[in-house]
Chain A
Amino acid sequence: EIVLTQSPTTIAASPGEKVTITCRASSSVSYMYWYQQKPGASPKPWIYDTSKLASGVPNRFSGSGSGTSYSLTINTMETEDAATYYCQQWSSTPHTFGAGTKLELK
């Protein structure tokens, strides 16, 4: 089973600040997927195939990485970006998730 380790667990950012969340895999994966979840809501597909933004995702978000190291970056934090972000790998089953990174507004 591929274990995904996200860091940090929690981060607080001010509007306009740059934010980076990392996801490290215990074995190499082909792509990484990211989800955004707000309280009381279903996870929303956010980034797919490592770097492609899902429909409606603002272009201040970006994804990158390869092998065992991936990241999600927000160029300039906005209020609406406060949420929990999860990474997931689809390279092998079980399609494991990271434990999540809670992004708070400072």
Chain B
Amino acid sequence: QVQLKESGPGLVQPSQTLSLTCTVAGFSLTSYNVHWVRQPPGKGLEWMGVIWNTGGTRYNSALKSRLSISKDTSKSQVFLKMNSLQTEDTATYYCARVGYWGQGVMVTVSS
């Protein structure tokens, strides 16, 4: 069945780079777009960006200078990299495709 699962470090130091992986199952990354969405504790959802099934990307302009999304289709993995992290980047990060979301991974930015 369709599954998405995020993985990555739970703690990142300020000014460092966040690297997250979304491993998918039950569908091909050549057929579906995958989005990244984040949610700070107690707050709403923020769309971060998308990698299209074709490999193209689109980012939220508020994050564009810091954000990169890529994928390895053969491994069914999508990658998120975001640099210059600050405390306000503390959030649960989700990957999602139409109809399905991952469980999310909580990332805390703190020294």
A residues lining the B interface (CB < 8 Å): 1, 35, 42-45, 48, 54-55, 86, 88, 93-100
Contact = CB atoms under 8 A, between A and B. Distances in A.
Interface stretch (B12-20, B68-76, B98-106): B98-106
A42 B102 contact: yes
Contacts of A96: 47
B101 A97 contact: no
Given A93-B58, A95-B50, A42 B45 contact: no
12 contacts: A42-B94, A42-B102, A42-B104, A43-B101, A44-B101, A86-B45, A88-B47, A93-B50, A94-B62, A97-B45, A97-B47, A98-B44
B44 A100 contact: yes
Nearest to A33: B98
B60 interface: yes
Contacts of A45: 98-101
A1 B62 CA distance: 11
B100 to A, nearest CB: 7
A42 to B, nearest CB: 4
A11 B15 CA distance: 40
Given A1-B61, A94-B58, A98-B44, 16 more contacts: A35-B45, A42-B104, A43-B94, A45-B98, A45-B99, A45-B101, A48-B98, A48-B99, A86-B44, A86-B45, A88-B47, A94-B59, A94-B60, A94-B62, A95-B35, A97-B45
Contacts of A100: 44-45
Contacts of B37: 43, 97
Interface string B12-33: 0000000000000000000000
A84 B35 CA distance: 21
A88 B59 CA distance: 16
Contacts of A54: 99
A43 B93 CA distance: 12
B48 to A, nearest CB: 8
A99 B35 CA distance: 18
